[in-house]
Chains A and B, each alone.
Chain A
């Protein structure tokens, strides 16, 4: 009995030792060579743009040809999952030697935790258009370089607008008139608004941009200096309610997801899509014959309008401060931001970029290019750095869509904001 017991214990100990040895080996392999051949280094590149992986793969292939001793292991995660798990992935430098960040809450948290390296002095920083990269700065240092330039204003079906003799409106009355004409002509969704997931966070931006001109407004709300019960936000909610009550969002905005809204728009059941320029490539793939443009709902009179639209600089490239492969990571960013790589990425994915000297060739990008010359405002939602405040603000739009009076919805949101201060 004792002998059998001793053998069993010995067996378990040996098994443990073997497993431990394997574990040590594999860990060493992944940290030093990343599983590649001897002398090679593998860097991890993580982001949330699954739809861009084909284009990134082309660029990575070119990069690995130029730097045969560096391999790039790219992983793309769903955006909500990415948002919630990025800091865990970055800790200890386990992954994300190069990573992308959202501006706003995520940028604040990641830089606050010291997980983004300061890349201020790098040569490739000068390739970016100055006005677009300030969002990646904190305390005078550059921690992130936003690659994408997005216009967060509705996309419209230019073919349909031409058919009904419509032009992008210049004031609120004009915007209502456009919606009315579309509805009277049997268009199911004059403006399809995917409020089941991301619509509120997008559409709130152009809806509020001229109602409150102070670009620091959300900072002040978070500091308790200003309130969402003031006229500017209540008016924004009232205007959203007006669109909803008139049936311009179609049957049920709260049941429509972003993906579904893209499909509805591509099927020409909608005149406008209340999202942003980043949807244009997807819609173009689904319906290449449809001509598209961008327009912003101007919520004031033409004379009172200051901002013509909204822009966001996002997909902020950064280097993991905890990584022991920072030099290789910077080489990859340097390669990615060269005009020839950037042009491949822009034309493949239909994304405007924040870099100089990019050669835009696709139809979708040509439709967006004029907007770089307009007076656009940085996406106000991304200036909300407190997640609870953001949820409260977006929740007030939900409430209005479900029939709650704008003043009451604003009051409820303010209660949550007060509690989070």
Chain B
């Protein structure tokens, strides 16, 4: 079939939507990040790079948010990846039981994050919740505590919910990756006398490396953007111990009415996420295994 340049016209609607809803707001964020706009007033001043300098050198809460985000991210990336891989390895065969359990593990993903936040806030609640009484019943009364009220562990309590929420989703990516590993390789390795661990470490792990890279990259980005869960469960408290970058941006813009400042923070967040995405793509390309 002959390719006609006029077919490019069909790209226009999509390009227009992309330009309107992605490019323009992004440019807008860059523009407002060098102003002191409060989000309501029509007048504002240009402040150059002052917002960026303030954020990086002077803002205790911003730096704390960044630190909290890293704790949250590490907990989620490590445990979500491990759990989802284990579940994927257990449930890889397409039996009826496995399909049922896959659906069961995937189920939290289809819930709205606000519902998840509501359910888990109730579970964690110290007086009317169910986690502490459950722990006491099974003889673990010594570890009961204020799961969202203790600033040392609140961020990890949130990370646990995030893991519960998304492990099933990530598991599906691993199952797809595992099902693409040729069976002949396992058969040949078994004939050669390889054990379960050797088959996993020498065949499975290298061949699912692109899936792992994608899962890790996706989880990192998801952890940076975990706004709804954090906002609905703790609002960033107590004492900023669960404030992460996105809640910081939201509070700056909509509670403190500092849209310019919040735009600068969101540009920094965009740069971080873009950097991670670039590293992720490079790793995917490097980890591609021909078979």
Contacts and interface: CB of A to CB of B under 8 A. Distances in A.
Given A260-B128, A391-B251, A255 B38 contact: no
Given A196-B148, A415-B60, A250 B127 contact: yes
B238 A402 contact: yes
Given A83-B254, A195-B238, A399-B239, A256 B60 contact: no
Given A87-B40, A113-B40, A398 B126 contact: no
Nearest to B148: A255
Given A251-B126, A264-B128, 20 more contacts: A5-B6, A84-B253, A84-B254, A87-B39, A105-B255, A105-B257, A114-B42, A188-B127, A197-B235, A251-B127, A254-B150, A264-B127, A386-B256, A391-B61, A395-B237, A398-B237, A398-B239, A401-B149, A402-B149, A419-B58
In the complex, the 9 A-B pairs of residues with the closest C-beta atoms, listed nearest first: A254-B149, A84-B254, A387-B256, A113-B40, A398-B239, A398-B238, A252-B126, A252-B146, A87-B40
B150 A402 contact: yes
Which applies to chain A's interface (DSSP): helix, strand, loop or mixed? helix
B149 A252 contact: yes
B131 to A, nearest CB: 11
Interface string A59-94: 000000000000000000000100111010001000
Which applies to chain B's interface (DSSP): helix, strand, loop or mixed? loop
B126 A256 contact: yes
B121 to A, nearest CB: 7
Nearest to A251: B126
A83 B255 contact: yes
B136 interface: no
B40 A196 contact: no
B290 to A, nearest CB: 40
Nearest to A388: B256
A57 interface: no
B41 interface: yes
B59 interface: yes
A258 B147 CA distance: 17
Contacts of A5: 4, 6
B147 A255 contact: yes
Given A256-B125, A402-B149, A115 B40 contact: yes
Contacts of B237: 196, 254, 395, 398
A254 B238 contact: yes
A328 to B, nearest CB: 24
A112 B125 CA distance: 40
A283 to B, nearest CB: 16
Interface string B234-251: 110111110000000011
Interface string B35-50: 0001111100000000
Contacts of B251: 387, 391
B17 interface: no
Contacts, number: 123
Interface in A169-216: 188, 195-197
B138 interface: no
A401 B150 CA distance: 9
28 contacts: A5-B4, A83-B254, A105-B256, A109-B39, A109-B40, A112-B40, A196-B149, A251-B146, A253-B149, A254-B238, A255-B125, A255-B126, A255-B147, A256-B125, A256-B126, A256-B127, A257-B125, A260-B128, A269-B127, A387-B255, A391-B61, A398-B151, A401-B149, A402-B150, A404-B239, A415-B60, A416-B61, A419-B60
A255 B127 CA distance: 8
A401 B41 contact: no
A388 B62 CA distance: 12
Contact of A387 (B9, B59, B239, B257): B257
A401 B151 CA distance: 10
A379 to B, nearest CB: 18
Contacts of A252: 126-127, 145-146, 149
Contacts of A401: 149, 238
Nearest to B235: A197
Nearest to A386: B256
Contact of A395 (B9, B58, B121, B240): B240
A12 B10 CA distance: 10
Contacts of A141: none
A120 interface: no
B149 A195 contact: yes
B13 interface: yes
B239 A112 contact: no
A9 interface: yes
A9 B13 CA distance: 11
Contacts of A416: 60-61
Interface in B13-30: 13
A254 B240 contact: no
A83 B40 CA distance: 13
A1 B1 CA distance: 11
Contact of A402 (B39, B58, B235, B239): B239
A110 interface: yes
